[in-house]
Amino acid sequence: MRNLLVILIAVVLAAPLCADEAQFFIERIEVRNAKRVSPVVVIAESRLREGHAYSENALRDAATRLSRLPFLLSVDFALEKGTERGHHVLVLTIQETKPFFYLLDLRQIFNDHYVEVFRGDTFGRNETALGYRRFVGRRGAVHVGMVGFGAEDEVRDDYVSLAIGYTQYDLFGSRAFATVNLKRPIEGYGEGLISPQVVAGVPLSANQTLTLEFNEMRFERKARYGQETARTKGGDRFVEARWSYNTTNDPFLPTDGLLLRVAPFYRWHDGSSLLIVYPDQVTVHPYHVRSHGLQAGVSRYQEITDRDSVFGDLQGWWAREDIDTGDVQADYERVRRGGSIGAGISHSFWNRDERANGGDSRVELSVRYSNRRQELDLPLAAEYESDVRQVSAAWVRRSSWGTLRLGAGYAR
C-alpha cells in the first residue's frame, strides 16, 4: 500500500511544463449572475489573483475548482478586453444552488444475510445532509440542518445530528477556510448533548488541500431499576488530517478528473455498561477505546463521450485499537484493516449544454469487491475476515436544490 501511494503521488505531482503556453494578464476578476453567493468568496475559492498572468489551462482549472463548491451548480469563464493592450478582464458566470439543500443516497442493497456494503465516496462514507445556507457579509456563511454518516464509515460510528454552524472563507486573506459547528446527535448511544466540530482547510497548491478536523459527539444515558437510577455520560472524539489532490468536475456527481486522499486519524471513544445486580442495584462499568490509523484512496473518472463516463477507484484503511473494558474482562488490542476496488459506468440523459444550466440526470451501474480483516490480541486469538462482492444500479439527479440518488443493489 505504501509503495502504491508513493507512485500515485509522484504521477500526480509530475505535471509537464508548458513553456510555450500563452499567458493572459488578468487586471480584474468579475463575477456575474451572483444573487446570494458572495463574489468575494467566489474569487477567493478560484485561487486566482488580480494583477497576475495565467494560462488558459490555469483559468479552466479555476472554473473546475469552483464547480466543486456545493453552493455553485456550474461556472463558465470568459476573457474580455482590459483597459490596456494585453490586459484582460476574467468574467466568471455562475449558476447558484438554492439556499435550501439536500444530499440523499437512498439506495437499498439486498443480500442473503448481513453483509457490510459500500455506498459512499473514496472512504466508503455515505453522507446525508438536509439544511439551509445563507451568506453573511463578504466572506462568511451560516448553515443549519441535519447531517449524518452511513454505517459504511470505516473508522467512526453512525450518527445523525442536528447542526448549526458558520464558515469563514478566505481566512486572513490566505484562501483558507474554517467551519465551526454545534451539533446535537439525535441517534446514537443514548441522549445526545450539544457537541462541537471544527474543520479548517488550507490550500497547498491549485488542486491540493490540507484539511484538519476535530469532531466530538457526547451522549448521556439514564436507566432506572426499582429505586435505583443510573446516569452515565460518554463521548466520541475524532481528529483527522486529510491531504487531497482533486481535479474532479463536481462535488457529488463527478464524471471527469482525479481524486486522491490520504488521511491519518486518531479517535477516543468512551462509554459505559450498565449491569443489574439483583434485586434492584445498578452498577456502572466505564470502558475506553483508543485507536489510530490511516485511510487512503484514489478515484479516477473519465468522460468517453459527451454523455458517457467511466470510473474506477481503489481504497484501503488500517486501524489499531486499544480497548480498556473497565474490569469487566481482560483488556485487549484489536487491529482492523480492509480495502475495496470498484468500477462503473454512467450515462447522462442530458447533453452538455443542458447540464451546464440545470445540473445532471444520470444512470449509474457499478461493481465492487471489498475485503475486511480483524485480529484480536486475546489469550484465545480471534480472527475475522470477510469478502463482499456487490453490484448496484442507480438514477442520480443533481439540480440547484441538491443531489438525490435512488437505486438498488445486491451484495454477498
Is the CB of residue 203 less than 8 Å from the CB of residue 209? yes
Angle ∠(175,180,184) on CA atoms, nearest 5 = 155
Is the CB of residue 385 less than 8 Å from the CB of residue 373? yes
Is the CB of residue 292 less than 8 Å from the CB of residue 265? yes
Can you count the helices (H) and strands (E) in the chain? 4, 20
Q: How far apart are CA 153 and CA 124, in angstroms?
A: 6
For the record, the C-alpha cell of 375 comes out as: 485480529
pLDDT at 225: 62
Is the CB of residue 244 less than 8 Å from the CB of residue 211? yes
Q: How far apart are CA 275 and CA 284, in angstroms?
A: 6
Q: How far apart are CA 122 and CA 105, in angstroms?
A: 15
Is the CATH number of domain 100-411 2.40.160?
Answer: yes
How far is residue 347 from each of residues 134, 307, 352, 390, measured CA to CA in Å? 33, 6, 12, 20
Residue 368 parent element (H or E): strand 360-377
pLDDT at 397: 95
Q: How far apart are CA 268 and CA 18, in angstroms?
A: 48
Q: What backbone torsions phi and psi does residue 330 show, to the nearest 5 degrees?
A: -65, 140
pTM for this entry: 0.85
Helix, strand, coil shares of the chain, percent, nearest 5, are 10, 65, 25
Is the CATH number of domain 2-96 3.40.640.10?
Answer: no
Q: CA torsion sign, 247 to 248 to 249 to 255?
A: positive
Q: Is 156 exposed, middle or buried (0-12, 13-18, 19+ CB in 10 A)?
A: middle
For residue 239, which of 202, 198, 209 has the smallest C-alpha distance?
198
How far is residue 214 from each of residues 189, 268, 270, measured CA to CA in Å? 20, 11, 16
Q: How far apart are CA 114 and CA 112, in angstroms?
A: 7
Task: Render pLDDT for 109-122 as a digit per residue (tens, 0 to 9).
Answer: 888 765 555 555 54
pLDDT at 358: 87
pLDDT at 105: 85
For residue 154, which of 289, 322, 338 has the smallest C-alpha distance?
338
pLDDT at 7: 47
Cis amide linkage into residue 39, ω under 30° from 0: no
pLDDT at 117: 59
What SS3 state is found at 19?
coil
Q: How far apart are CA 368 and CA 103, in angstroms?
A: 22
pLDDT at 120: 55
Q: How far apart are CA 69 and CA 133, in angstroms?
A: 13
Q: How far apart are CA 361 and CA 149, in angstroms?
A: 24
For residue 300, which of 341, 343, 257 has the smallest C-alpha distance?
257
- Which of the residues in the chain have pLDDT under 50? 1, 4-9, 11-19, 122-124, 151-152
Q: Where are the domains of the chain?
A: 2-96, 100-411
